[in-house]
Structure 1
Amino acid sequence: MTRAIRIGGFSGYLGDRRSALAEAVAGDPCDVLIGDYLAEFTLAMLAARHRSDPSKGYVEYFLDQLRPHLATLAERGTRVVVNAGGFNPAGLADAVRALIAESGVALRVAHVEGDNVLSTLDDLLAAGHQMPSLDSGAPLADWGHRPIAANAYLGGWGIAAALRAGADVVVCGRVTDASLTVGPAAWWHDWQPDDWDRLAAAVVAGHVIECGPHAVGGNFSGFTRVPGMVAPGFPIAEIAADGTTVITKHARDGGTVTVDTVTAQLVYEIQGPRYLNPDVTAHLDTVRLRQLAPDRVEVSGTTGSPPPPTTKVAVFAPIGHQIVLSLYATGLDIAEKVALIRAQAEALLAGADAELDVSALGTAAEDPERQWDATVQVRIMATAADREPLARLAEGIGELFLSSIPGFYTDSAARQSASPRPRIDYWPSLLAVDAVPHEVVLDDGTRIPIAPPPATEQPDQPEHPEPARAELGETRRVPLGRLAHARSGDKGGNSNVGLWVADPRAWPWLRDLLSTDELRRLMPEAKDLDIVRHEFPHLRAVHFVLRGLLGTGGSSNLRVDPIGKAVGEFLRARHVDVPVELLD
């Protein structure tokens, strides 16, 4: 094809708007529609479903999304690519074929498999694959827990092969989020496996649109200036043959596409300037953004290099149980009230091998006008290997209404976690890419094996020196967010955060301000952590990885914000010295 391929997103996670596919079909024309349903913890959720019913383990509501639109998709020739297959892509592919048969349209379905390596873990370990933790470096054999899920991240060439073979719907398991875009772009433009720059450009495009409304103003720190935020729409990537991309959106939908909304997604959930994927390593520090027109941002300049010789594997295992309870403290002596609640919770867990966190959320106002201005939520979270002490805690908290703090109450209209839930831990690991099977299965049973990349290269993140503080002249102390945007998220047990400025005049100030030491000052919770800092001059951004802030992962830590989504907004609320000339 000579023209750019138009790839529209319609899902950013399992639980995203059920109406999203209908919105995309009713919106501007697209050649391919992609749906991303899998996050790290999503796999563990689907694993439990698959273990209880081997015929399931996929995202079942995708069928409801797809059913009403089969005839329209067939008439337009629009392809659909999803990773909703979870643990059973073959099962979902069969279910889609059943829908197609009922509707009487002529559509072909293929699925991609090989990512689920749980059944071969013992053989892989016996063959010498240590599957070390990306965080600690320890081998999987040292973990001490029996995994219930292990999924390797596949690239986009299986998707490309399925489309080349005539598939109209391609069902995948754990391909990388960006692979949903890389595969269609490589198919459309007939790229080769060593077209590193083009593949890297597609990875960047896929990274921008993989989280749905994120790219059009969702979760954006400048949301107050985004129109239609009640229901922001979904993005479209127009990817040319050379990889140059324009990010846009359906014209009828809410939201907006600007350099800042695209930057927000570029710095989201990355580990640094080198963005690793199974097909290519994308160099994010070469990316340039340009506003072409309203809701049209050009992404250019992306360069790539061979991918690493390993691919990521998400391993999950049950490690016990957890429970979360909430109550409220009002008025005076809040610190003392929280301390008493903590002491009573500790007494209820006395003698148990348990971990407890009691946190007060918010601050009571001085001389409040309303009761709620004087109220803070007290969150109690506890974990233990056994259920019994946690059940005892829940029962005991319920017995404190007459023997605890003055004004003790819970929200009786909200359901409390009366019974403990399983606690799942996460082991992010690596596996040699040639040890992971990667196959496409067509509707006639034909299997197409996908070869490993033609070359690999172990990339290193660049090292950027700490800035030297310059003289600022006259300054004013204001919230950092007066000038800077931010976006943060999780990578296993690490939280990342990228901060950037829209005004080029403010970039030297932001770069000099945001040293690692300054970040430790701004966020005391991270003062003892290993922090990695990088600069992205073309984006006017400083990026940090806070190693270990999230424990071993969002599914098992005790933080109220378990996957670091609000770290950036917290930093924007902190006060810093800003040159007056930048505030005028």
Structure 2
Amino acid sequence: MTLRIGNFSGFYGDRSDALREMLTGGEVDVLTGDYLAELTMLILGRDRLKDPGAGYARTFLRQLEECLALVHDKRVKIVTNAGGLNPAGLAARVRELSERLGVPLRVAHVEGDDLTAAHPGSLAAHAYLGGFGIAACLRAGADVVVTGRVTDAALVTGPAAAHFGWPADAYDQLAGAVVAGHVLECGTQATGGNYAFFTEGPGDVGRPGFPLAELHEDGSAVITKHPGTGGFVDVGTVTAQLLYETAGARYAGPDVTARLDTVRLRQDGPDRVRIEGVRGEAPPPTLKVGRNRLGGFRNEVVFVLTGLDVEAKAALVRRQLAPALGKVADVRWELVRTDRPDAATEETASALLRLVVRDADQQAVGRALSGAAVELALASYPGFHVLAPPGKGAPYGVFEDAHVPQDAVEHVAVLPDGRRVPVAPAPGSAVPEDVPEPPLPGPPPDGPTRRAPLGLVAGARSGDKGGHANVGVWARTDAAWSWLAHTLTADRFRALLPETAPLPVTRHVLPRLRALNFVVEGILGEGVAAQARFDPQAKALGEWLRSRHLDIPEALL
């Protein structure tokens, strides 16, 4: 008995026609839409400030309107966290849509995640719920289930638990569904999107198809995609997504703690990767709570420094603006040396000097900075110009996480007939002991080496979790894994990425995936919404690492 679960959205803004593509491209039982990220919750919180009836992903309604008859005719269940901060409001809009179009659908929603009232000063504070509220809605006959802030994997564990009748302590099966859900949650990142070896894949990644998982009752799964769609699914694309925004051996959630060090992957045919062997443990006794608050106001200006004396030009601008910036709480200068000597174009002869200011007072980062920067137009370095004039200062957000006891959250499934059913917290919970680091593989091959980019022998994918970043690095052969595991230590990682040198870096070893996962604490400051860094979500941190040169055994090259 197989349950086919597909994905049609990996973020708020994903391809609008993906729902229709997944409904028409092949057989599927459940389609999941993931719209929520830390930044999205802030965006929806600001929407709700303007309109108390807002707070959900409006794009989902447009997608559903175009496909409502197809959903009904094909008897496909839709499960989505597009409800955001207002799942009841979105569920009501879906019912209105169903009535207006004359397409009968039973709609349910899940609530209880909103803890904003208990966190004064927060724009939005939401607990990450598990999948058993979704399961209750589906068991009651719902065709569409709308949630707020659940874990991304809960969109898969819920339908799987409902379909297979798993109890809440079926930890191995639930862990398998969590792993499958984590692979699906970011859409086309599992089918060749954002993939380190995109130039080598068997499929065209110009328009990757969305992924789906064939789940089995024992928790094993096959990751695949509809026939004829773009991109490709192989062990590498699945490994990359498994490492995305994770850390060590334990991947903890509200339903189960999945042991990533037990995951086994194997190619099961073209565009088919089998996931098996996943073990699960009791979840932790607490739920994560994501809190978003307004941190103040932010402004930015980028000065273009062309030709000679770049350092002196940068020093002059900094000295000239110092009086205007004296009372600003947070001032950050960054000189990016994109210039080349004897350049053939003006752009490649230019460096960029980036100024970012933040303060609780909008005037401090707005009018004062704008005036001071513009006044330099005829009174600063030769060739003075900026990429864009500074604005009046925009609000920025701060993400923080906290934890509350599982039983402190009133997880409720609101069924299609309006009945409100409480969802019990996980029956067991545990604060696990540390997982000992597994033994490393045998020593790397002997022989001559050559200075070359790490990316010739290793893939990487990186992402953000609040103010931290993770960089997952994996090898494609046993020989490359042996070299990687012995070579890329936390100290070597810091040396290759000097920006991380003063920060805590933890290395996790995952031999079954031939992978290392590095967690870099604090590199993103107060999170993506604060935009404290050039790449505020650390999306390209892994590609920077792959571009760095090491002495690599020629046998691997």
Same fold (TM over 0.5): yes
Residues 380-391 of structure 1: pairs in structure 2 closer than 5 A: 380-391=355-366
Distance in 1, Cα, partners of 2:546 & 2:294: 36
Deviation at 1:19, TM superposition (A): 2.0
Distance in 2, Cα, partners of 1:471 & 1:507: 11
Quote the residue 2:461 is aligned against: 487
Residue type matched to 1:542 in 2?
L
Distance in 1, Cα, partners of 2:387 & 2:396: 25
Say which of 284, 296, 305 aligns to 2:281: 305
Distance in 2, Cα, partners of 1:59 & 1:315: 19
Q: Do 2:137 and 2:416's aligned partners in 1 also have CA atoms closer than 8 Å?
A: no
Length, aligned pairs only: 554
Say which of 179, 183, 191 aligns to 2:158: 183
Distance in 2, Cα, partners of 1:225 & 1:522: 25
Residues 207-356 of structure 1: pairs in structure 2 closer than 5 A: 207-226=182-201, 227-350=203-326, 352-356=327-331
Residue type matched to 2:19 in 1?
L
Does 1:206 pair with 2:181?
yes
Quote the residue 1:150 is aligned against: 125
Residue type matched to 1:520 in 2?
R
Quote the residue 1:105 is aligned against: 103
Quote the residue 1:131 is aligned against: none
SS of the equivalent of 2:104 reads coil
Quote the residue 2:401 is aligned against: 428
Quote the residue 2:60 is aligned against: 62
Q: Do 1:484 and 1:502's aligned partners in 2 also have CA atoms closer than 8 Å?
A: yes
Q: Do 1:74 and 1:106's aligned partners in 2 also have CA atoms closer than 8 Å?
A: yes
Change (3 A) 1:469 1:332: farther
Deviation at 1:232, TM superposition (A): 1.6
Distance in 2, Cα, partners of 1:24 & 1:459: 39
Deviation at 1:37, TM superposition (A): 0.4
Deviation at 1:400, TM superposition (A): 2.0
Change (3 A) 1:418 1:163: same
The Cα RMSD (Å) is 1.7
Does 1:378 pair with 2:378?
no
More divergent stretch after superposition (458-467 vs 367-376): 458-467
Quote the residue 2:420 is aligned against: 447
Distance in 1, Cα, partners of 2:394 & 2:464: 22
SS of the equivalent of 1:533 reads strand
Deviation at 1:581, TM superposition (A): 1.2
Quote the residue 1:24 is aligned against: 22
Q: 1:182-234, CA deviations, whole angstroms, 9 ceiling, x for partnerless residues? A: 10111111111111000000000000010011001111111222433222221
Distance in 1, Cα, partners of 2:213 & 2:498: 39
SS of the equivalent of 1:544 reads strand
Change (3 A) 1:15 1:339: farther
Deviation at 1:14, TM superposition (A): 1.1
Q: 1:507-554, CA deviations, whole angstroms, 9 ceiling, x for partnerless residues? A: 110000011111111111111211111111111111111111111322
Does 1:519 pair with 2:517?
no
Distance in 1, Cα, partners of 2:438 & 2:504: 16
Change (3 A) 1:428 1:243: same
Say which of 7, 10, 17 aligns to 2:8: 10
Q: 1:448-496, CA deviations, whole angstroms, 9 ceiling, x for partnerless residues? A: 1101111111134424389798784311111111111001111111111
SS of the equivalent of 1:332 reads coil
Which structure 1 residue ranges, 4+ long, deviate > 4 Å from structure 2? 465-472
Does 1:36 pair with 2:28?
no
Change (3 A) 1:518 1:85: same
Gaps of 5+ in 1: 123-145
Deviation at 1:147, TM superposition (A): 1.4
Distance in 1, Cα, partners of 2:39 & 2:343: 40
Distance in 2, Cα, partners of 1:479 & 1:51: 48
Deviation at 1:338, TM superposition (A): 2.6
Q: 1:336-373, CA deviations, whole angstroms, 9 ceiling, x for partnerless residues? A: 323333333333212x1321222233521232222222
Distance in 1, Cα, partners of 2:351 & 2:16: 34
Residue type matched to 1:236 in 2?
L
Q: Do 2:134 and 2:145's aligned partners in 1 also have CA atoms closer than 8 Å?
A: yes
Change (3 A) 1:575 1:432: same
SS of the equivalent of 1:22 reads helix
Gaps of 5+ in 2: none
Change (3 A) 1:482 1:252: same
SS of the equivalent of 2:258 reads strand
Distance in 2, Cα, partners of 1:398 & 1:527: 36
Quote the residue 1:130 is aligned against: none
**TM-score under structure 1 length normalisation:** 0.92
Q: Do 1:464 and 1:533's aligned partners in 2 also have CA atoms closer than 8 Å?
A: no
Change (3 A) 1:274 1:91: same
Change (3 A) 1:218 1:386: same
Change (3 A) 1:92 1:417: farther
Distance in 2, Cα, partners of 1:407 & 1:83: 50
Deviation at 1:267, TM superposition (A): 0.5
Q: Do 1:466 and 1:515's aligned partners in 2 also have CA atoms closer than 8 Å?
A: no
Quote the residue 2:477 is aligned against: 503
Residue type matched to 1:194 in 2?
D
SS of the equivalent of 1:398 reads helix
Deviation at 1:557, TM superposition (A): 4.7
Residue type matched to 2:347 in 1?
W
Change (3 A) 1:494 1:401: same
Q: 1:278-333, CA deviations, whole angstroms, 9 ceiling, x for partnerless residues? A: 00000001001101111111111100011000010001222211112223222222
Residue type matched to 1:528 in 2?
P
Distance in 2, Cα, partners of 1:192 & 1:422: 45
SS of the equivalent of 1:521 reads helix
Residue type matched to 2:311 in 1?
A
More divergent stretch after superposition (147-156 vs 44-53): 44-53
Distance in 2, Cα, partners of 1:463 & 1:355: 41
Say which of 68, 71, 94 aligns to 2:69: 71
Residue type matched to 2:482 in 1?
P
Q: 1:49-88, CA deviations, whole angstroms, 9 ceiling, x for partnerless residues? A: 1122111111111110100111111111001000010111
Deviation at 1:107, TM superposition (A): 0.8
Distance in 2, Cα, partners of 1:471 & 1:299: 30
Quote the residue 1:474 is aligned against: 448
Quote the residue 1:196 is aligned against: 171
Change (3 A) 1:557 1:61: closer
Q: Do 2:445 and 2:553's aligned partners in 1 also have CA atoms closer than 8 Å?
A: no
How many percent of aligned residue pairs carry the same amino acid?
48
Deviation at 1:417, TM superposition (A): 4.9
**TM-score under structure 2 length normalisation:** 0.96
SS of the equivalent of 1:28 reads coil
Say which of 117, 120, 129 aligns to 1:119: 117
